Amino acid sequence: MIYEIVKKLDSVLKFETASAHCDIPCGIYDPITAQIAALTVIRMVDLAGELQKEHPTQDAPFHNSLARYVAVKEEYAEKCKHEIRIIWGDYFKPEHFEKYPELNGLVHEILQLASKSRQNIDRSSGLQLLKSVNRFAQIFWETKGVATKLAKAPYEPGEQIVYPAF
Partner 1 sequence: MLKILKVNGESLSPELKPGDYVVVSNRFWMPCAGDVIVFQHKRYGTMIKKLYHISRSGSDYFVIGAHRNSIDSRHFGMIEKAAVIGRVVWLIRGKT
Site of interaction with partner 1 (CB under 8 A): 2-3, 6-7, 9-10, 15-24, 26, 89-90
Give the nearer residue to partner 1 in terms of CB position, either 18 or 60: 18
Closest distance of CB 83 from partner 1, Å: 14
Closest distance of CB 94 from partner 1, Å: 15
User: Virtual CA dihedral for 33, 39, 45, 49, nearest 10 degrees?
Assistant: -140
In whole angstroms, give the CA distance from residue 88 to residue 78. 15
Give the nearer residue to partner 1 in terms of CB position, either 24 or 60: 24
Closest distance of CB 86 from partner 1, Å: 8
**Cα radius of gyration (the chain):** 22
Give the nearer residue to partner 1 in terms of CB position, either 28 or 60: 28
CB 115 within 8 A of CB 77: yes
Give the nearer residue to partner 1 in terms of CB position, either 20 or 60: 20
Task: Please report, as a single letter, which amino acid is at residue 77.
Answer: A
In whole angstroms, give the CA distance from residue 44 to residue 123. 9
Q: Which H, E and C letters describe 55-102, residue by residue?
A: CCCCCHHHHHHHHHHHHHHHHHHHHHHHHHHHHHHHHCCHHHHHHCCC
DSSP character for 158? Answer: -
Closest distance of CB 19 from partner 1, Å: 5
Closest distance of CB 27 from partner 1, Å: 11
Give the nearer residue to partner 1 in terms of CB position, either 94 or 145: 94
